[in-house]
Structure 1
Amino acid sequence: MTAAFTGDRIILRDLGFYGYHGLFSEEERLGQRFFVDLECGVDLTAPGKTDAIGHTVSYADIYDVVKATFETKRTKLIEALGQNIVTALFERFGDINWIIIRIRKPEAPIAMVRGEAAIELRRARPA
């Protein structure tokens, strides 16, 4: 077994969503933009050799799980949102060995002129 967070990976960046996650009533009522960056550790040897879709995890299917999870349950913390997405991906795709997820909240309700608030979770598949 390869070490966590090394080796082959599927990468999806800047997945944009509009959602109602956050602590404040304004966030629940008005919503805001979120961006998700995702790296999924998957052995890509077979699809690299065969050029066959059946030997890899579909990027579109990963996106669908992220989107459904993002839209299903409102969370107060983006840490919880990230963990929900990680859990859903591990449940759906047995080939994913580890996940790095970053959730960015560019309009977080804090006084900043430029930038964004973000979290990053690194999770290996539970044994």
Structure 2
Amino acid sequence: MDKMTLNGMRFFGYHGVFPEENRLGQNFHVDLVLKLNLEQAARTDELEHSINYADLHAATKKIVEGPPVKLIEALAGRIATALLETYTGITELTVRVTKPNPPFEIHFDGVVVELVRKRDEHGEIVPA
């Protein structure tokens, strides 16, 4: 299966458990890895046979900059579900959400949640 990867998308959102996070907001980084068949796009050089990554970015932005959730696990889940429901050519999707500046006094590069979802033999979205 072919892959399309979008790395390092950066958005500002209001997600978090603490009220200050919901009020002040913070940066979130999102990476996507899509598994899909890109053979026809590679052969024809036509966008209609692929997925426009600008559209993937816009859909992800709408979710991250939209209504807040408490957990980045829920945020990643919303992104995965929305993209798989919208783009039926995606057979499997990995969503990695990084919260680079969690609001507590420890020093690291952020916390990352990675979810992998795919379509089962009936077309249902399930954990991979």
Instruction: Structure 1 unaligned segments of length 5 or more: list them.
Output: 1-6
Q: Deviations over 1:70-117 (max 9, x none)?
A: 222210000001100111101111111110010000111222223111
Shift of 1:17: 0.4
Structure 2: how far apart are the matches of 1:68 and 1:83?
A: 14
In structure 2, what is the equivalent of residue 37 of structure 1?
31
TM-score, normalization: structure 2? 0.90
Number of equivalences:
121
CA RMSD of aligned residues (A): 1.1
Identity %: 39
For the residues of structure 2 that align with 1:125 and 1:71, how far apart are their CA atoms?
Answer: 26
Aligned twin of 1:121: 115
Does residue 70 in structure 1 map to residue 52 in structure 2? no
Greater than 4 Å deviation, 4+ residue runs = none
Any idea what the Cα deviations from partners look like across 1:41-71, whole Å, max 9, x if unmatched?
1111001111111111110111111111222
Structure 2, unpaired ranges of 5+: 124-128
Deviation sequence 1:5-45 (CA, Å, 0-9, x none):
xx211100110001100000110111111000110111110
Q: Is the 8 A contact 2:12 2:64 kept in 1?
A: no
Instruction: Report the TM-score when normalising by structure 1.
Output: 0.90
Distance in structure 1 (CA, Å) of the matches to 2:65 and 2:20: 18
